[in-house]
Structure 1
């Protein structure tokens, strides 16, 4: 008797995390169906990953805020991983309209949930949130606070609407998007389980793009430390990270993990600009003139993040930072044509 292979819907398949999510799902033997916003995205992905052909279905959804946007693509799906979202613009492109970002975070998530509610086969809905939903743009809890899954940043929709700060707006968007999932589950009591994953800055190898000019914030941030922009690494302002491949693995494990946890932090550890450049300098001696020199400043981080639940509830195993940084840098140098 032929075994039926489960189908996983990945929204935002064309992004940094979405593309790695597909890799992880295929490695675990799932069939994959993905959504993308731009009509040219599948061509780039299939060029860079020819092994996907015949294994990954692509559906073009130009605007996932439109009612019933996911109704067709979700038919026959067993699991949903909702990755599609708006992310920080990088430092070389114009900022994203916060009203648009809020609408995508809330309405797009509602549409995905409503579609899953109509498909009786769906067993679990995984929502990719952020540690921004825990702590906001800064630590509001005082020195030494340890953030866990019980924490929520205190900022509101009104705070976002009154601010032009993209970072602040992003943290509110992630909070409201995740709370949309929780409210839906509490109100509708769906036939499927829901779980949110809360990662910090996502780093790792890039393969879904054709140019470093297309980098989203996390990869762009990393690229600035190794492309000759800085002689000395700037002051650290981002204090935690996760490897994109470990996060993708956490998504896959979340589909069938024997847990009812509604929320799990996925974080590999602490981060500093000096930690990055001190790792890269001996790894890429041929690019030492491009990699920023360490600034020697002690960390100003006044909090910790407890990611122990990701290990106990999901079984996540985090790779060493040296591997993450090397693979990220190698892929970016290659994308920039330096190899």
Structure 2
């Protein structure tokens, strides 16, 4: 299989794994009729939706405002027979996804908040961490009520796997395994005013909730036992009939195809806006900002990986692996793959 991406990122699968940092997809596409994409009008989600529409799949998309829903649909008018954009309220509310998840074959859950400014100690949990966790619980509840659902694809982050502030080094050598988690505790996440630290904490515990829901005997539950707040895992009804695929991408950058609204470029997510500002010379007279991550991935490759995971349902116990590669590999004389240019 062709390599994708300009970096590498771990995948957590519904099977034991011990592979290179990479993404996996299944061989053999099933017949998809209808897919729900939460956060489909967002940065990554819009790319995912476009790829699905190009393949002739009916896509249900959630939008948080009427203006965003209208703009998103108008730009995809040629797919009006395939695209259904639904304006949703509070995505963390109990039952928020129940009606949307009916009669869909796959759910791709990539909706998650990421503010563009520092948070106060009093708002970080409410703004960042709990929406990630309760939103995931809400989608899990909806998934369990759909007996025909085949797969749930969840977007996590490398920040749930290891501490990005430390040298990227796995205790297992050149790969990560399913047992690897960022050491941040829930309480540490709630005490920070750094939105990215809170984001990683929220993603970590949201992913833990997902694994706990599909496998109550999972060793991952020991991490959830460290939580002392009132939103611990709740027992979800019915045994799951679907499998779970979780992607842990690094920093995602690249072109945007989602509606920006009246704020224009100012409404871009922080990482993309920072990259745009560097390229456009906004820091000509000031110090460049510190890099957000030593790893990165093109948004189009991230979207492609999500779509492949959603469509290739056969041989789920035998994923095929595609390694990412260093951006400079073979492009700069004398520079090895993944190394920075001289």
TM-score (norm 2): 0.71
Change (3 A) 1:266 1:166: farther
Higher helix proportion: 1
Correspondence for 1:245 among 280, 287, 300? 300
Is the counterpart of residue 191 in structure 1 residue 241 in structure 2?
Answer: yes
Is the counterpart of residue 177 in structure 1 residue 206 in structure 2?
Answer: yes
Q: Distance in 1 between matches of 2:170 and 2:244?
A: 32
Correspondence for 2:110 among 67, 77, 83? 83
Partner of 1:214: 267
Q: CA RMSD in A?
A: 3.0
Asked if the contact 1:250/1:266 (under 8 Å) is kept, the reply is no
Unaligned runs of 5+ in 1: 280-297, 300-339
Partner of 1:259: 316
Change (3 A) 1:107 1:237: closer
Task: State the secondary structure of the residue aligned to 1:40.
Answer: helix
Change (3 A) 1:143 1:197: closer
Task: State the secondary structure of the residue aligned to 2:297.
Answer: strand
The structural deviation recorded for 1:191 is 0.5
Partner of 2:22: none
Asked if the contact 2:162/2:181 (under 8 Å) is kept, the reply is yes
Is the counterpart of residue 69 in structure 1 residue 96 in structure 2?
Answer: yes
Change (3 A) 1:108 1:247: same
Asked if the contact 1:12/1:34 (under 8 Å) is kept, the reply is yes
CA offsets, 1:173-197, max 9 Å, x none? 1111111110001136411001100
TM-score (norm 1): 0.71
The structural deviation recorded for 1:115 is 0.5
Q: Distance in 2 between matches of 1:136 and 1:155?
A: 8
Partner of 1:148: 176
Change (3 A) 1:267 1:239: farther
Q: Distance in 2 between matches of 1:37 and 1:22?
A: 16
Partner of 2:125: 99
Partner of 1:328: none
Partner of 2:254: 204
CA offsets, 1:256-298, max 9 Å, x none? 2433489x99984557xxx8xxx9xxxxxxxxxxxxxxxxxx9
Is the counterpart of residue 32 in structure 1 residue 59 in structure 2?
Answer: yes
Q: Distance in 2 between matches of 1:243 and 1:74?
A: 29
Change (3 A) 1:222 1:238: same
The structural deviation recorded for 1:5 is 5.0
Q: Distance in 2 between matches of 1:181 and 1:235?
A: 32
Is the counterpart of residue 58 in structure 1 residue 85 in structure 2?
Answer: yes
The structural deviation recorded for 1:103 is 1.4
Task: State the secondary structure of the residue aligned to 1:125.
Answer: strand
Asked if the contact 1:160/1:169 (under 8 Å) is kept, the reply is yes
Asked if the contact 1:33/1:57 (under 8 Å) is kept, the reply is yes
Asked if the contact 1:86/1:104 (under 8 Å) is kept, the reply is yes
The structural deviation recorded for 1:86 is 1.1
Change (3 A) 1:239 1:137: closer
Q: Distance in 1 between matches of 2:212 and 2:66?
A: 33
The worse-fitting range, judged by mean Cα deviation, of 114-123 and 96-105 is 96-105
The structural deviation recorded for 1:236 is 3.5
Unaligned runs of 5+ in 2: 1-29, 217-237, 333-338
Q: Distance in 1 between matches of 2:49 and 2:133?
A: 24
Higher RCO (Cα < 8 Å, 6 or more apart) = 2
Is the counterpart of residue 20 in structure 1 residue 73 in structure 2?
Answer: no
Total equivalences in the alignment? 270
In the TM superposition, 1:307-318 aligns within 5 A as none
Q: Distance in 2 between matches of 1:226 and 1:55?
A: 37
